């Protein structure tokens, strides 16, 4: 049996499916709704949960698992970290082919598109809409005698989070939002503070202590103007408070995709069409190439890094766009070698990601190859972060408890605690208004709204607050900043459609990867913008 | 004719008897000592189906413990089943076993194209050519080692794997992985590093596949793969690597056994959250006994280096607590704090506490005053490391090129170093330190031995490797 299993796996790998596209298509999808159990199973149930969290996030997760197991003593939640999303997806793809998968797992929309396509993911609508009331009948349970339901109120979720999770087949949910994030821009306030008069002369709002607006994003036109003030292209000039580059963009793929939305440049659609062969995309890439040429924009490949955070901290670049969940990587601390920090431990602020325009469907003129081009722009910020779902070959009891565990994870107070502890964003709207204080340490409890208030108070005081050095608000200042910025731009969150590979084109995961490579190739001079786009097209369609 | 009728009747009778006799209930057999294969054969023979679970609640320390029956699980009515219980045939029986045996499927049978040959590395050097023979410079943990080639030593992070931590952080199976890596490298006849993709990671460590020729062996083995196959590490998929597929398969097989990093209890890891309550003095006196376990201590913050602090108890014993990137506003100089769940470890010969989590910190009192103890070179003993001290009459004999190490002698000509940490933002020049000056310096007593090889037992702390840590510019008096 084991040999048979191994043969299947080897065969699977031999065909090169692993990790690059998705599990095989099984014909037109036929949705079969789950049949709900009418009573809570009392037998021993093990729910296996694959995630990618390290020690810190696992500790938070373990607390939630322990609370859930106290409610349902017959259930064991076994969490296993699979290191990273690439490994997680690869192992599930292998597992799907031989019917050996966890009960539930984290995953991006690209991942779940593949699982759905292979009939491996469970449609969650029956759980979401289930009207059965279950009575907990277990003297050992912390909620013994209570009545529970599996249903959740979808109106309590950020709408674009929901749309991301029901985009696969027929509008059904095959995953639900769990750990969400977006992109935010960290800025070196110490440098900005030295150029306040010049910056104000550009019409950009900046406070006396160098805070930019937290509700109105910078435009790319403003960034181009700021380059003349803040950049010294031959190298960071500490005495003049100038960096070598103005703005780093951590995710080259996000830059391509989000910029496409801001330019209204066709990229892909939910039908799986690759739409990049168009003049708007070509002009967009030429424009980005122009930004590369003036050191307005830089990619981590400049420093042969995957992220630009370290070089932001070193003072090579004045601003950097990255995940809101990774805000802490953009805050210089004394943990770094002092001689590498060109501006020392400088002040950091967080603002929204730059936009082409400040109002949807607005025209803006840009220069592309020395010619004026009009862009009809939209606001857009990337919506990212993993969702969570259940696999089809689990038993009905396992599926039911897996769903109840998911429901517990995304309860308002739990999603708020998870968000404040990890840097992610709450999945539910009610987390923002809950008045239940959440214990963050033995001496500090805070509601999510008061957590957001930390940065708001700091900004309102122009950074000049009278908090004691031992005030624990300091420990949450930067995460509060990132969370506020994320909240302020949630009106224009966008996500890219997830789809599996088709007969003539690649899947969305490959499209995203090649979008990033396309920009790296332009940055490194491997291809011109036009040739790089043609190369990308040739790699994604056949 | 009658004979045919009789035969037919007999046939019907036999079929009837056979069907009628087939049991609809069976007694659960005693499966003690049976493997999963034997359990499956036995229970399927009784017309029962099986669902397997692992019992990971106890330590299994003998190879013969693995893949063995532990107990039956509960039935659908939540009743615990046991040997002899009567169950209906065709029902699913839950069976708990110990973790399974590990099998090595790929390490010795890599294809020729994936294997390392002498011609691949002969005449080449790792840094310059991306492949080359190296020697061990310093052992770190399961997936990081300092190697040496062409006269230079450099840190190397192994590709495709991620063993649990055993240095700044201490995780289950981390020490076991580090020990296994050390044993394989130290007994190897040759070690060859092979680069693939990015040459370095964000921490300036070189990235490599680590091949070694075992003593007496005739074929190089890929240590990265071996660590995954033996469940000392999970695989980190390296997209595009020629070894990705084989590592994924090895990872898959290892994870199915639930051995080591996949869920088995590490007998040498302390799973408690709070740790054993003790004074810093007691810990320092019994340090080896608590290495890698969890302790709960309280003390006054005497000095800060970045987010990390030195703590000192009422008896005057001190210790360095490494906080890494975890900041806490409560950890201010003079604050009396209590911290649970810390793990004593050793870094370059110096004792330290790791595993700091803000959730485990509580503030006892703020703003206490700490009086340093005046010591001499004769007090450079292990139990004084971490103590907040003052030393007088120190004559400057030199400063290193980075201007962060001040070489001094005391009045009896003992030589040692005053160390200015990078995080302070100042150096010897900023302080106006020059050769020949006489200094009085206050700060925590530190220790640093670059050659410390992660073996604490039997290690002697040399007085010449003690350092006086200068953490604030007003803690130095130039006479």
Question: Closest Cα partner for B380 from B323, B320, B465?
Answer: B465
Using CA atoms, how far apart are residues B241 and A19, in angstroms rounded to an integer?
11
Higher per-residue confidence, A368 vs B370: A368
Whether residues A103 and A156 fall in one domain:
yes
Whether residues A193 and A146 fall in one domain:
no
Domain annotation covers residue A189: yes
Cα-based angle B168, B173, B179 (whole degrees, multiple of 5): 80
Domain annotation covers residue A436: no
Q: Which of residues 440-459 of A touch B (CB under 8 A)?
A: 440-443
- Give me the pLDDT at residue A44, please: 86
- Give me the pLDDT at residue B368, please: 80
Nearest neighbour of B358 by CB, restricted to A6, A78, A441:
A441
Higher per-residue confidence, A86 vs B375: B375
Using CA atoms, how far apart are residues B18 and B456, in angstroms rounded to an integer?
71
A42/B202 Cβ within 8 A:
no
Domain B11-97 indexed as CATH 3.30.10.20? yes
Residue A401, exposed/middle/buried by CB under 10 A (0-12, 13-18, 19+)? Answer: buried
Cβ atoms of A500 and A113 closer than 8 Å: yes
The partner residues of B318 in beta bridges, in order of sequence, read B312
Q: Which two tokens stand for residue B34?
A: 């049976």
Class of domain B118-262: mainly beta
Whether residues A154 and A261 fall in one domain:
no
Alpha helices per DSSP H over A325-382: none
Domain that residue A130 falls in: 36-180+385-422
- Give me the pLDDT at residue A6, please: 44
Cβ atoms of A171 and A107 closer than 8 Å: no
Taking the Cβ of residue A237 and every Cβ of chain B, the question of whether any pair is shorter than 8 Å is answered with: no
Give whichever of A232-236, A500-504, B23-27, B356-360 has the largest mean pLDDT.
Answer: A232-236
- Give me the pLDDT at residue B201, please: 83
- Give me the pLDDT at residue A12, please: 42
Residue entry with tokens 């090129």: B401
A470/B363 Cβ within 8 A:
yes
Taking the Cβ of residue B148 and every Cβ of chain A, the question of whether any pair is shorter than 8 Å is answered with: no
Taking the Cβ of residue A83 and every Cβ of chain B, the question of whether any pair is shorter than 8 Å is answered with: yes
Whether residues A233 and A139 fall in one domain:
no
Taking the Cβ of residue A474 and every Cβ of chain B, the question of whether any pair is shorter than 8 Å is answered with: yes
- Give me the pLDDT at residue A15, please: 36
The C-alpha of A443 sits at a distance from chain B's nearest C-alpha, in angstroms, of: 7
- Give me the pLDDT at residue A98, please: 79
The C-alpha of B278 sits at a distance from chain A's nearest C-alpha, in angstroms, of: 20
Whether residues A368 and A415 fall in one domain:
no
Asked if pLDDT for residue B168 goes beyond 60, the answer is: yes
pTM of the predicted structure, to 2 decimals: 0.83
Neighbours of A20 (CB within 10 A): 17
All CATH 2.40.50.140 domain ranges in chain B, comma separated: 276-365, 373-478
Domain annotation covers residue A162: yes
Contacts of A306 in chain B (CB under 8 A): 202
Whether residues A196 and A234 fall in one domain:
yes
- Give me the pLDDT at residue B9, please: 59
- Give me the pLDDT at residue B424, please: 84
Whether residues A224 and A275 fall in one domain:
yes
Q: Which of residues 2-21 of A touch B (CB under 8 A)?
A: 6, 9-10, 13, 18-20
Q: How many Cα atoms occupy the beta-carbon half-sphere of A372 within 13 Å?
A: 4
The C-alpha of A245 sits at a distance from chain B's nearest C-alpha, in angstroms, of: 19
The C-alpha of B413 sits at a distance from chain A's nearest C-alpha, in angstroms, of: 32
Give the β-pairing of A147-148 and A134-135. Answer: antiparallel
Nearest neighbour of B248 by CB, restricted to A46, A90, A471:
A90
Q: How many Cα atoms occupy the beta-carbon half-sphere of B425 within 13 Å?
A: 12
All CATH 2.40.50.90 domain ranges in chain B, comma separated: 118-262
Question: Closest Cα partner for B146 from B204, B189, B230, B107?
Answer: B204
Whether residues A160 and A295 fall in one domain:
no
Taking the Cβ of residue A58 and every Cβ of chain B, the question of whether any pair is shorter than 8 Å is answered with: no
Contacts of A336 in chain B (CB under 8 A): 422-423
Taking the Cβ of residue B251 and every Cβ of chain A, the question of whether any pair is shorter than 8 Å is answered with: yes
Taking the Cβ of residue A326 and every Cβ of chain B, the question of whether any pair is shorter than 8 Å is answered with: no
The partner residues of A105 in beta bridges, in order of sequence, read A50, A389
Cα-based angle A250, A251, A252 (whole degrees, multiple of 5): 110
Residue entry with tokens 């660590």: B227
Q: Which CATH architecture has domain B373-478?
A: Beta Barrel (2.40)
Taking the Cβ of residue B453 and every Cβ of chain A, the question of whether any pair is shorter than 8 Å is answered with: no
Whether residues A373 and A397 fall in one domain:
no
Using CA atoms, how far apart are residues B66 and B96, in angstroms rounded to an integer?
12
Using CA atoms, how far apart are residues B90 and A224, in angstroms rounded to an integer?
73
- Give me the pLDDT at residue B344, please: 95
Domain annotation covers residue A453: no
Give the list of residues 6+ apart from residue A406 with CB closer than 8 angstroms, or none.
A104, A176, A178, A388, A390
Using CA atoms, how far apart are residues B24 and A32, in angstroms rounded to an integer?
33
Q: How many Cα atoms occupy the beta-carbon half-sphere of A542 within 13 Å?
A: 8
pLDDT in tens, A458-510: 999 999 999 998 899 999 999 999 999 999 998 899 988 899 888 899 999 89
Taking the Cβ of residue B423 and every Cβ of chain A, the question of whether any pair is shorter than 8 Å is answered with: yes
Helix B244-257 / helix A85-98 crossing angle, nearest 10 deg? 70
Q: What is the SS3 assignment for A199?
A: helix
Q: Where does the pLDDT of residue B220 fall: very low under 50, low under 70, confident under 90, or very high at 90 and above?
A: very high
Residue entry with tokens 């859930």: A68
Taking the Cβ of residue B235 and every Cβ of chain A, the question of whether any pair is shorter than 8 Å is answered with: yes
Whether residues A299 and A231 fall in one domain:
yes
The partner residues of A125 in beta bridges, in order of sequence, read none
Nearest neighbour of B76 by CB, restricted to A6, A43, A333:
A43
Whether residues A232 and A349 fall in one domain:
yes
Q: What is the SS3 assignment for A462?
A: coil
pLDDT in tens, B391-435: 999 999 999 999 999 999 999 999 999 999 888 888 999 999 999
A98: CATH: 3.40.190.10
All CATH 3.30.10.20 domain ranges in chain B, comma separated: 11-97
Question: CATH number for the B276-365 domain, one of 3.40.50.2300, 2.40.50.140, 2.160.10.10, 3.40.50.1820?
Answer: 2.40.50.140
The C-alpha of B111 sits at a distance from chain A's nearest C-alpha, in angstroms, of: 14
Looking at chain B, the whole-number percentage of residues with pLDDT higher than 90 is 77
pLDDT in tens, B271-299: 888 899 999 999 999 999 999 899 999 99
Q: Whole-number mean pLDDT of chain B?
A: 92
Taking the Cβ of residue A471 and every Cβ of chain B, the question of whether any pair is shorter than 8 Å is answered with: yes
Taking the Cβ of residue B184 and every Cβ of chain A, the question of whether any pair is shorter than 8 Å is answered with: no
Regions of chain A with pLDDT less than 70: 1-27
Q: Where does the pLDDT of residue B2 fall: very low under 50, low under 70, confident under 90, or very high at 90 and above?
A: low
Final residue in a domain of this structure, among A422, A450, A482: A422
- Give me the pLDDT at residue A43, please: 85
Structural domains in chain A (count) = 2
Whether residues A140 and A267 fall in one domain:
no
């Amino acid at each position: 049996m084991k040999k048979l299993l191994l043969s299947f796996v080897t065969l699977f790998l031999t065909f090169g499916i692993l990790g690059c596209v998705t599990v095989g298509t099984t014909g037109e999808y036929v949705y079969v709704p789950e049949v709900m159990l009418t009573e809570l199973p009392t037998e021993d149930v093990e729910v296996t949960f694959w995630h990618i969290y390290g020690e810190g996030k696992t500790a938070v997760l373990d607390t939630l698992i322990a609370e859930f197991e106290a409610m349902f003593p017959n259930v064991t939640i076994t969490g296993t970290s699979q290191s990273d999303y690439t490994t997680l997806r690869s192992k599930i793809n292998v597992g799907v082919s031989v019917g050996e998968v966890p009960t539930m797992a984290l995953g991006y929309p690209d991942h779940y598109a593949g699982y759905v396509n292979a009939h491996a993911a469970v449609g969650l609508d029956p759980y979401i809409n289930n009207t059965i009331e279950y009575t907990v009948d277990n003297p050992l349970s912390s909620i013994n005698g209570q009545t529970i339901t599996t249903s959740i109120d979808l109106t309590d979720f950020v709408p674009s989070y929901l749309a991301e999770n029901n985009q696969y087949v027929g509008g059904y949910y095959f995953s639900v939002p769990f750990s969400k994030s977006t992109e935010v821009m960290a800025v070196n306030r110490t440098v900005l503070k030295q150029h306040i008069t010049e910056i104000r002369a550009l019409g950009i709002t900046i406070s006396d202590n160098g805070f930019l607006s937290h509700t109105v994003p910078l435009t790319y036109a403003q960034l181009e103007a700021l380059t003349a003030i803040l950049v010294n292209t031959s190298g960071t000039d500490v005495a003049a408070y100038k960096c070598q580059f103005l703005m780093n963009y951590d995710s080259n793929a996000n830059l391509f995709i989000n910029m496409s939305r801001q330019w209204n440049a066709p990229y892909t659609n939910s039908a799986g069409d690759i739409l990049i062969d168009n003049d708007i995309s070509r002009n967009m890439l030429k424009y980005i190439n122009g930004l590369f040429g003036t050191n307005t924009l830089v990619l981590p490949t400049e420093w042969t890094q995957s992220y630009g955070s370290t070089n932001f901290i070193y003072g090579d670049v004045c601003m950097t766009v990255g995940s809101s969940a990774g805000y802490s990587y953009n805050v210089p601390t004394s943990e770094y070698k002092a001689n590498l920090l060109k501006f020392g431990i400088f002040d950091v602020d967080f603002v929204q990601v730059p936009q082409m325009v400040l109002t949807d469907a607005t025209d803006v003129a840009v220069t592309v190859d020395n010619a004026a081009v009009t862009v009809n722009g939209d606001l857009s910020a990337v919506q990212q972060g993993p969702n969570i779902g259940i696999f089809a070959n689990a038993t009905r009891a396992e599926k039911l408890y897996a769903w109840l565990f998911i429901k517990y994870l995304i309860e308002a107070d739990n999603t708020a605690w998870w968000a404040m502890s990890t840097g992610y964003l709450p999945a539910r709207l009610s987390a923002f208004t809950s008045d239940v204080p959440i214990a963050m340490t033995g001496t500090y409890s805070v509601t999510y709204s008061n957590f957001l208030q930390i940065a708001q108070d700091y900004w309102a005081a122009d950074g000049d607050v009278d908090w004691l050095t031992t005030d624990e608000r300091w420990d949450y200042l930067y995460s509060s900043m990132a969370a506020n910025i994320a909240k302020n731009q949630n009106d224009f969150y966008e996500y890219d459609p997830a789809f599996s590979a088709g007969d003539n084109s690649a899947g969305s995961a490959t499209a995203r990867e090649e979008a990033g490579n396309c920009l790296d190739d332009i940055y490194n001079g491997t291809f011109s913008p036009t040739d790089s786009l043609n190369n990308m097209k040739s790699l994604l369609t056949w | 004719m009658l004979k045919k009728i009789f035969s037919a009747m007999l046939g019907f009778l036999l079929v009837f008897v056979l069907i009628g006799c087939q049991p609809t209930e069976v007694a659960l057999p005693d499966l003690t000592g049976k493997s999963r294969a034997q359990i499956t054969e036995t229970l399927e023979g009784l017309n029962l189906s099986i669902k397997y679970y692992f019992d990971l609640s106890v330590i299994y320390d003998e190879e013969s413990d693995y893949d063995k029956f532990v107990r039956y699980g509960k039935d659908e009515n939540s009743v615990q089943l046991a040997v002899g219980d009567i169950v209906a045939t065709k029902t699913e029986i839950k069976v708990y076993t110990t973790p399974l045996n590990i099998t090595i499927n790929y390490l010795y049978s890599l294809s020729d194209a994936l294997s390392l040959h002498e011609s691949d590395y002969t005449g080449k050097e790792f840094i310059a050519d991306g492949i080359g023979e190296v020697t061990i410079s310093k052992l770190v943990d399961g997936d990081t080692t300092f190697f040496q080639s062409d006269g230079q030593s450099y840190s190397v992070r192994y590709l495709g794997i991620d063993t649990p931590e055993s240095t700044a952080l201490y995780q289950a199976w981390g020490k076991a992985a580090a020990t296994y890596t050390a044993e394989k490298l130290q007994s190897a006849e040759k070690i060859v590093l092979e680069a693939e993709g990015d040459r370095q990671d964000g921490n300036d460590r070189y990235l490599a596949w680590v091949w070694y020729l075992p003593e007496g062996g005739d074929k190089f083995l890929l240590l990265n793969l071996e660590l995954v196959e033996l469940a000392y590490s999970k695989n980190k998929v390296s997209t595009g690597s020629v070894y990705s597929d084989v590592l994924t398969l090895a990872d898959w097989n290892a994870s199915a056994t639930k051995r080591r990093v996949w869920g088995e209890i590490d007998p040498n890891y302390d799973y408690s959250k709070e740790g054993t309550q003790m004074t810093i003095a007691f810990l320092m006196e019994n340090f080896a006994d608590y290495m890698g376990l969890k302790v709960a201590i309280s003390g006054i913050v005497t000095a800060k280096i970045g987010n990390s602090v030195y703590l000192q108890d009422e008896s005057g014993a001190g210790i360095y607590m490494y906080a890494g990137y975890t900041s806490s506003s409560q950890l201010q100089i003079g604050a009396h704090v209590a911290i649970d769940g810390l793990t004593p470890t050793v870094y370059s010969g110096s004792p330290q506490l790791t595993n700091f989590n803000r959730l485990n910190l509580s503030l006892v009192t703020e703003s206490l005053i700490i009086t340093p103890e005046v010591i001499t070179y004769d007090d450079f003993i292990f139990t004084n490391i971490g103590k907040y001290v003052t030393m007088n009459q120190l004559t400057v004999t030199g400063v290193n090129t980075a201007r962060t190490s001040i070489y001094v002698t005391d009045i009896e000509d003992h030589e040692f170093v005053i160390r200015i940490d990078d995080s302070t933002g100042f150096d010897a020049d900023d302080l106006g330190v020059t050769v020949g000056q006489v200094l009085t310096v206050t700060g925590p007593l530190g220790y640093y031995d670059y050659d410390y090889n992660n073996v604490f037992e039997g290690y002697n702390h040399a007085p010449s490797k003690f350092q006086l840590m200068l953490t604030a510019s007003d803690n130095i008096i130039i006479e």
